[in-house]
């Protein structure tokens, strides 16, 4: 369905603001979940239940002095965090939020997502180089090497999905999961190995524990953002939380039915008037957000449960475990598609 230009502009405005607000909500959720896991209250002073604490933190960062190291490359030092946030806010343009509700329903949607998420590592690498600090440089180099290690496995996991769906269009991939009884048509059940590989590599893509090697506070002080302060640091922080929220959206879209409501075919058979209605669109948006919220919680839960991997362990997992399994999975899926 081709939407009028003004509707696309409204949807884009809503989605961008949703992404910005989601970062504040996720910061609050992370601190509360961390407090629960560690048996402490978490933020509970600013606002009801401490809910306004993230907004107070933003105000604090706005008031902090913006310091650029004397030996840093000023323009690139300032460009790196801006690049990270811009890319993070661009990816949702191709994600379908309901049937027919997508900003850019491009035929090569999967390739657009992979291209944009891969480019985000440039922000980390540029920040590490431009800061003129050994800690920052090591963080940037780690990010580049880490990307090469997991991007191959992530790409192969996506290839297995494309083989099953027969399309690179994200809406087409979602609609391909509508078949089957209840939720059994979702790719997480049809292609479980691809699902597990993609989820693991998504943690590395978003620089989240246990794969947060580029910033590794215990080893590199703060890695690529060691020399950042004020809102430049805040923009890196914003990009990190938007990135793992976007990663959750992509996981849900590719493997968990996207905007499809569980038991949707049975629901439409029972209530035919729902077909094409606004109510169904609202239910689909809520379905997508609830599934995404679960995976966002998973990102938070893992961070406060598992210790950080050593760098050589990450390389070993990427090259000696994930890559062979991903290759074998693609071959099995291709064989299954050919036969069935």
pLDDT of residue 211: 86
What's the confidence (pLDDT) of residue 181?
Answer: 64
Quick one: pLDDT at residue 171?
94
Number of residues written out for the chain? 340
DSSP result, 123-144: HHHHHHHHTT-HHHHHHHHHHH
- Which pLDDT does position 307 carry in this prediction? 87
Cα distance between residue 298 and residue 5, in whole Å: 36
Q: Phi and psi of 98, rounded to 5°?
A: -165, 175
Cα–Cα distances (Å) from 172 to 61, 175, 264, in that order, read: 42, 5, 16
- Token look-up 């966002």 returns 296
**94-119 per-position pLDDT tens digit:** 999 998 888 888 888 999 999 888 88
Angstrom distance (rounded) from CA 128 to CA 137: 4
Judging by beta carbons within 10 Å of its beta carbon (0-12, 13-18, 19+), is residue 277 exposed, middle or buried?
exposed
Count Cβ atoms within 10 A of the Cβ of residue 84 and give its class: 0-12 exposed, 13-18 middle, 19 or more buried: buried
pLDDT of 180: 65
330, 156 Cβ separation under 8 angstroms: yes
Helix (H, G, I), strand (E, B) or coil at 101: strand
How far is CA 8 from each of CA 4, 102, 160, 174, 233, rounded to the nearest angstrom? 7, 8, 31, 20, 31
Low-confidence stretches of the chain (pLDDT < 70) are: 1-3, 180-182, 217-218
Q: Is 282 helix (H, G, I), strand (E, B) or coil?
A: helix
Cβ neighbours of 150 (radius 10 Å): 24
Q: Residue 4, class by beta-carbon neighbours within 10 Å (0-12 exposed, 13-18 middle, 19+ buried)?
A: exposed
């Amino acid at each position: 369905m081709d939407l009028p230009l003004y509707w696309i502009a409204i949807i884009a405005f809503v989605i961008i603001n949703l992404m910005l607000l989601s970062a504040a909500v996720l910061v609050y959720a992370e601190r509360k979940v961390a407090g629960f896991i560690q048996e402490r209250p978490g933020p509970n002073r600013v606002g009801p239940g401490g809910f306004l604490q993230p907004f107070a933190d933003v105000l604090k960062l706005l008031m902090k002095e913006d310091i650029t190291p004397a030996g840093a490359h000023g323009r690139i030092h300032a460009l790196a965090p801006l690049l990270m946030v811009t890319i993070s806010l661009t990816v949702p343009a191709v994600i379908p939020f309901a049937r027919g509700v997508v900003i850019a329903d491009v035929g090569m949607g999967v390739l657009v997502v992979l291209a944009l998420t891969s480019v985000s590592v440039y922000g980390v690498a540029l920040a590490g180089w431009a800061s003129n600090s050994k800690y920052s440089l090591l963080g940037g180099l780690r990010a580049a090497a880490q990307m090469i290690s997991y991007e191959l496995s992530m790409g192969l996991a996506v290839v297995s999905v494309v083989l099953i769906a027969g399309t690179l269009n994200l809406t087409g991939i979602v609609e391909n999961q509508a078949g089957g009884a209840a939720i059994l048509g979702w790719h997480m059940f049809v292609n479980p190995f691809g699902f597990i590989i993609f989820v693991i590599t998504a943690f590395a893509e978003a620089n989240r524990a246990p794969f947060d090697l580029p910033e590794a506070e215990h080893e590199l002080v703060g890695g690529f953002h060691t020399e950042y302060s004020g809102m430049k640091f805040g923009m890196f922080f914003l990009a990190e939380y938007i990135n793992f929220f976007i990663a959750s959206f992509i996981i849900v879209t590719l493997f968990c039915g996207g905007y499809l409501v569980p038991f949707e075919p049975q629901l439409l058979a029972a209530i035919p008037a729902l077909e094409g209605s606004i109510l169904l669109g609202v239910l689909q948006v809520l379905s997508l957000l609830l599934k995404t919220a679960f995976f966002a919680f998973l990102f938070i839960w893992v961070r406060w449960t598992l210790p950080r991997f050593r760098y050589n362990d990450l390389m070993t997992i990427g090259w000696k475990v994930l890559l062979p399994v991903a290759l074998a999975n693609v071959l099995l899926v291709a064989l299954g598609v050919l036969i069935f």
